[in-house]
Amino acid sequence: MSQNGSPLIFDCHLDLSMNALEWNRDLTWPLEKIRRWELSMKDKIDRGNGTVCLPEMRRGRIGICVATQIGRHSPYFHKLPGWSSQAQAWAQTQGQLAWYRAMEEAGEMTSIRTKAELDRHVQLWLDNPPLDESLYVSDSKTKPPKTPIGYLLSLEGADSIVSLSHLERSYADGLRALGPAHYGPGVYAHGTDAAGPMPVKGHGLLREMDRLGMILDVTHLCDENFWEALDIFQGPIWASHQNCRVLAPWNRQFADDQIRAVIERGGVLGMAFDAIMMVPGWKHMRSKPQDYQLKISRICDHIDHVCQLAGNARHVGIGTDLDGGYGTEQMPLDMDSIADLQTIPGLLRSRGYTEEDIEGIMWRNFIDFLRRVLK
């Protein structure tokens, strides 16, 4: 617990660079300013509905996160949008990396690659109370230093990895986690709503990840590729943003045997806040949160389920996926920004969770995992 009583939060999945470059959002702006800027924009369904920016993360004490790169390769006849070549997808992810570097240079973020860096950053946030972000939009010339948001770099979908030497180069640039697939069929693995055996190239990718000491993110893997990946990959695994299929039936979520497999490997599952992953029967582009009276408390049902399967509260955490191509139009009704994650501890207390359990769920489970696996 921090000095001021608000818990630190670790979010295991945020598409920050995608929002910065593809949605053209300046994430250093206050949330209200971003929303006003987008009022007249119609190019994306979630315009004006964003929930994530660096000031809101600080306000909600999301002081450390897993931040992604993403670039899908979509060859001829591919049904999903993406880049026409792997080289183009690679270039897109390198632009995203450049944005993270720019945020580091501005003092907004800091890269976490090692256990020592992780420990220093966690202690920094535990020791510092939240600052008033309004100080940074005033005309005052004497502004207190911001506490940077720490990020561990992850790649969502491996299509942009042109060759295994590109993977090694990415590791040198700070990449520590990788999910081989996203939606549909991929170069290295097949993801949500796809099927079929894992491509041979995927086997080589997993073995090289093992050699480098990377984390395998099993999120999005289709069922067949999930089990293949666990047979091939011997290193640490997590599911950065993955809810429970029994509560929201669809192959995007994990069945109980998959959740148990992650638990048995010492992994942690991050609970996501996309409505389509929280409730059964959600119709994309048609359903509304009001149709289900969807509230944040629903995520506690998913947390409960993982805890029941594990027999403890040590294998579940937060991996919101907020603003991952959607906004408040596809989120709990009582959630306006990422800072509202601070309501979860109270909801868990009302269900009988101990303070130790709550601290684990909000940040410590993922941090302890990283402490075990980072060099």
Domain that holds residue 337: 10-373
In a domain, 2, yes or no: no
Indicate whether 251 pLDDT > 90. Answer: yes
In a domain, 3, yes or no: no
In CATH, what number is assigned to the domain containing residue 159?
Answer: 3.20.20.140
Indicate whether 206 pLDDT > 50. Answer: yes
CA dist., res. 112 & res. 152, Å (int)? 5
Band (pLDDT 50/70/90 cuts) for residue 5 is low
In a domain, 1, yes or no: no
Indicate whether 198 pLDDT > 70. Answer: yes
Q: What is the pLDDT of residue 129?
A: 66
Proportion of the chain above pLDDT 70, given as a percent = 94
Indicate whether 30 pLDDT > 70. Answer: yes
In a domain, 250, yes or no: yes
pTM equals: 0.95
In a domain, 164, yes or no: yes
CA dist., res. 180 & res. 159, Å (int)? 8
In a domain, 32, yes or no: yes
In a domain, 301, yes or no: yes
Instruction: Provide mean pLDDT across the span 176-205.
Output: 98
- Radius of gyration of the chain from its Cα atoms, rounded to whole angstroms: 19
238: helix, strand or coil: strand
In a domain, 109, yes or no: yes
Q: What is the pLDDT of residue 6?
A: 80
Domains held by the chain: number: 1
Indicate whether 227 pLDDT > 50. Answer: yes
Indicate whether 3 pLDDT > 50. Answer: no
Average pLDDT over the chain reads 95
DSSP letter at 149?
A: E
Inter-CA distances, 132 with 55, 138, 144, 147, Å: 9, 11, 10, 11
What are the tens digits of pLDDT across the range 130-141? 555 555 554 445
